[in-house]
Amino acid sequence: MKAMILNNYGEKAVFEKTEIAQPAVKAGHVVLKVSATSINTVDTMIKTMGEALGGLSPALPGLLGMDFAGTITEVGEGVENYKVGDEIYGCAGGLADLPGALAEYMLADANLIALKPKNLSMREAAALPLVGITAYEALQRAQISAGKKVLVHGGSGGVGHLAVQLANYFGSDVYSTGGGDKQTSLIEKLGATAIDYKIEKVADYVEKHTGSTGFDIIFDTVGGENLLNSFEAAALNGQVATTTTMLSLDLLPAHMKGLSLHVVFMLIPMLHNAKREEHGAILAELAKIVEAGGLTPVLDENRYAFEQVGDAYARLTSGQGMGKVVVEI
């Protein structure tokens, strides 16, 4: 089968179209014909940083691509919930020893997939898994419920734009930060009250929207130093979830408010083969929400064919796009 392979890692690494063996089905897994795969920030990190990321990067030659949508062609022993011909989506490879989706066919653990939403195309469905699972897990761990005031930092981004919609679906009062008219306009269209962080100070928007009591839940998809803004904006005994904590930070502000900090790292089930069925269950729930009209992925305006994988990666790293970048196989 044809695959887009990396023979080295680094800033100048190039994807090369290569013939490799088609995967053989095994117990607990399915083989699928890949229709589309989306690109996430972690994919670009693996491409450029390689071995510096430790156990995240596949051994060379590397087959990347975590997210996918496609059609099952073979079903392994012990798999009872899927059959040949089922249209599925998931996040099941492209790191460590799990071959990725940048190929015509892919082997996927049946616990890491679900039937794709019926009302989405393959291209749209491929945009959801990693970011959708991340957003769903973050909000659930932060005890999302109807009526709570929720602030999403980075609501126009890959994870953030889904978190805004999910928080709305769960009945919360949703606010979100963005920078500039383009981002705040998208945030408003997604159903949140937009806050332009470039012109509004934390104390000002906290007073404006919460009467200075703070937000019950904050999902910080920006992370890093921005966590200090999250601590400032949170209510007493509030919940703060984030995807980015790889830095040293003074936690005194969080301590003095009694905040609960949730670090979301959705790759754990794939890396450690632990509780993979939870990701399959989340994907099934996300499909229901999509079909009910509560969630729609935003896709980048540019379309990319299989041979344009390098261009698609460049698009994401440029920061010029808006929405998920998807490659069609």
User: What pLDDT does 320 receive?
Assistant: 79
pLDDT at 321 over 80: no
Share of the chain above pLDDT 90, in %: 95
pLDDT tens-place string over residues 26-62: 999 999 999 999 999 999 999 999 989 888 999 999 9
189, 156 Cβ separation under 8 angstroms: no
Please calculate the CA angle 285-146-129 and round it to the nearest 5 degrees: 25
User: What pLDDT does 303 receive?
Assistant: 97
Kindly indicate the confidence band of residue 227, based on its pLDDT and cuts at 50, 70 and 90: very high
Q: Which residues of 115-130 are buried (b: 16+ CB within 10 A; e: fewer)?
A: bbbeebbbbbbbbbbb
User: What pLDDT does 71 receive?
Assistant: 99
Q: What is the DSSP string of 243-297?
A: S---S----HHHHHHT-EEEE--TTHHHHHT-SHHHHHHHHHHHHHHHHTTS---
Mean pLDDT value of segment 223-235: 97
Q: If you average pLDDT over every residue of the chain, what do you get?
A: 97
- The pTM assigned to this predicted structure is 0.97
Domain boundaries, the chain: 2-128+274-328, 131-263
H helix intervals, the chain? 41-49, 122-126, 129-141, 160-169, 181-189, 202-210, 227-233, 252-257, 268-272, 276-291, 309-318
Gap between the Cα atoms of 143 and 126, Å rounded:
27
User: What pLDDT does 228 receive?
Assistant: 97
pLDDT tens-place string over residues 282-303: 999 999 999 999 999 999 999 9
User: What pLDDT does 9 receive?
Assistant: 97
Gap between the Cα atoms of 215 and 277, Å rounded:
32
Which of 49-53, 200-204, 236-240 bottoms out in mean pLDDT, i.e. has the lowest?
49-53
> For the chain, what's the residue count?
329
Note the CATH number of domain 131-263: 3.40.50.720
CATH topology of domain 2-128+274-328: Quinone Oxidoreductase; Chain A, domain 1 (3.90.180)
Give 148's Cβ-side CA count (13 Å radius). 23
